[in-house]
Amino acid sequence: MKKDNDNLTAVVSGKAIKLHYFEPSQRKIWTVVGKENEHWLDPELGFCSCEDYFFNTLNGGDECYHLKSVRIAKEQNKVEVIRFSDDEFVNFVSALISDF
């Protein structure tokens, strides 16, 4: 439990929560940047691309710490918002998928 709290604190305080906001469509892609990788998620759907989500959350366990950290970062206003043009959306998603 302490490790989870340490992870949450590090992610939220380290400004690892990114909201990629595309204009004018208002599309949003959330990412959590870690030491070794980056995960994309949809907090409204409760989805994360991490292994813990697939092996634990989908099997009825707790939500992964990435989803928890997004919720906390939103509450504490510690989300880094990065604005893009809609023209950049396809390339952004392609790059995100190729890293997955």
* Percent of the chain scoring above 90 in pLDDT: 56
H helices of the chain, where?
2-13, 51-55, 65-75, 89-99
Joined tokens for residue 46:
């409760």
pLDDT tens for each residue of 10-25: 666 667 899 999 999 9
Q: Check whether 81 has a pLDDT greater than 90.
A: yes
Q: Given phi > 0 = left and psi -120 to 50 = alpha, else beta, which region is 83?
A: beta
Q: Check whether 2 has a pLDDT greater than 60.
A: no
Q: What is the mean pLDDT of the chain?
A: 87
Joined tokens for residue 97:
């998928």
Residues 32 and 47 sit within 8 Å (Cβ to Cβ) = no
Q: Is 27 in a helix, a strand, or coil?
A: strand
Joined tokens for residue 26:
């208002």
Q: If pLDDT is split at 50, 70 and 90, which confidence band does 9 have?
A: low
Distances (CA, A) of 37 to 20, 26, 33, 96: 17, 26, 6, 11
What is the reported pLDDT for 56?
Answer: 87
Task: Write down the domain spans for the chain.
Answer: 2-99
